[in-house]
Structure 1
Amino acid sequence: MTRRLSIARHGEADAFGSLTDTGRHQAARLGERLAAQPIDVIWHSPLPRAQETAAIVAEHLPGVPVLDAPELIDHVPYVPAPGEAPSSWAGFFDGFDDAEASHGHALADALTRRFGAAGSRATHEVLITHAYQVAWLVRHALAAPPVAWLRVPVANTGLTVVEHRAHEASALLMLNDLSHLPRHLRWTGFAAAPP
């Protein structure tokens, strides 16, 4: 049985964790894009920015249940050993102690146990979560080393699609696709290319 996961980071949020106007527009565009798909359920992180995004997406998917999944909570899934992380991450992990790293990795294990394998029936699920969790699920689907999550780009409402099939390797079908967003609603984290 094929379990298809359409995974997206929440819309743009403010410093307090609530969606901005841009974030609400991003979420609506994501909902429009998913409206033609046979979606069985929308799962979301318990944090407000993910809950709000899921609610807006659900407006375009009438009748689809919207459920909380604590495994989708925002956290650092893996703290790399010294020298293991790309140089662009230098200093980010300063101050993480062993207990914090272990707790984050335990949460990441719970995430992949719940969403990292085929189920007992064919489903198409939407996951509204956070950048690090999208990256971790991609890393898991590709069977890449744990540190690989640091190299996965994730924009607000970027759509990533993973399929899990029984007795087969998982497949990454789409990564951080922003084609549902007009240019002014896109953010990649990179400066615009010079003209």
Structure 2
Amino acid sequence: MPTRHLYLLRHGAADALGELTDVGERQSDLVGRRLAALPIDAVWHSPLPRAVRCARVIGTHLPGATVREAPELVDHVPHVPAQLPPEWAPFFDGYDAEEATAGEAQAAALTARFARPAAIETHEVLVTHAYPVAWLVRHALDAPPARWLGLNCGNTALTAIEYRDGTAPTLLLYNDMGHLPPDLRWTGFGTCTRP
């Protein structure tokens, strides 16, 4: 039975203008080296500059893989809960119904394109942003839509999901930073205690 292997990652660390920093370049190089051990067919990336650059760096380690843009991977809020958890209310302050509808349409396009089995065995890397990664993990686990909230991921942390016909998706790995030395881990998260 053919399996679609998706390797999801948030782009490397970026500056306030959305460009990769030196840390982000190093993170991208290291995750590319890790992925080089796999038979990667394609690297898909968001159209935003930080994801584009990260995908290109990764692609230097995967000479047989194509590197292409996928607009479904753009950064977006996939779902706004009807009943907001109080701790998330400031995040959604000013977020209107039109933006929420557009985000839900973007999330539907993302899952329709990538969260499904393929006709042939594939190994694909998706270089995207924290919210699309959270949405795809939530989808794979068949969790309620609001559960994407709080599923954060570090820059270039690796998540792996497998899709096969007739079975539920399999989440193999979530937010794995094993390819990063300690000084490059935990970027992209807020301040808090780290394991």
Q: Return the TM-score normalized by structure 2.
A: 0.95
Residues 1:182 and 2:181 aligned together: yes
Q: 1:34 offset after TM fit, Å?
A: 0.3
1:40-93 Cα deviation digits (max 9, x unpaired): 10000000000000000011111310010000000100011134x3x4323111
Alpha-carbon distance between aligned partners in 2 of 1:94 and 1:38, rounded to the nearest angstrom: 44
Q: 1:190 offset after TM fit, Å?
A: 4.2
Runs of 4+ in 1 over 4 A off after TM superposition: none
Unaligned segments of structure 1, at least 5 residues: none
Alpha-carbon distance between aligned partners in 2 of 1:41 and 1:185, rounded to the nearest angstrom: 25
Identical counterparts, % of pairs: 56
Specify the alignment match of 2:156 in structure 1.
Answer: 157
Alpha-carbon distance between aligned partners in 2 of 1:161 and 1:124, rounded to the nearest angstrom: 10
Specify the alignment match of 1:70 in structure 2.
Answer: 71
Residues 1:40 and 2:41 aligned together: yes
SS class of match (2:131): helix
Tell me, yes or no, if the aligned pair for 2:5 and 2:162 is still in contact at 8 Å.
yes
Residues 1:124 and 2:98 aligned together: no
Alpha-carbon distance between aligned partners in 2 of 1:41 and 1:16, rounded to the nearest angstrom: 27
Structure 1 window deviating more from structure 2 (55-64 vs 183-192): it is: 183-192
SS class of match (1:90): helix
The count of aligned residue pairs is 192
Q: 1:189 offset after TM fit, Å?
A: 3.2
Alpha-carbon distance between aligned partners in 1 of 2:191 and 2:162, rounded to the nearest angstrom: 28
Q: 1:97 offset after TM fit, Å?
A: 1.1
Alpha-carbon distance between aligned partners in 2 of 1:88 and 1:23, rounded to the nearest angstrom: 29
Alpha-carbon distance between aligned partners in 1 of 2:59 and 2:87, rounded to the nearest angstrom: 36
Alpha-carbon distance between aligned partners in 1 of 2:152 and 2:48, rounded to the nearest angstrom: 21
Where do residues 1-195 of structure 1 align in structure 2 (5 Å cutoff)?
1-83=2-84, 85=85, 87-187=86-186, 188-192=189-193
State the superposition RMSD in angstroms.
1.3
Q: 1:193 offset after TM fit, Å?
A: 5.1
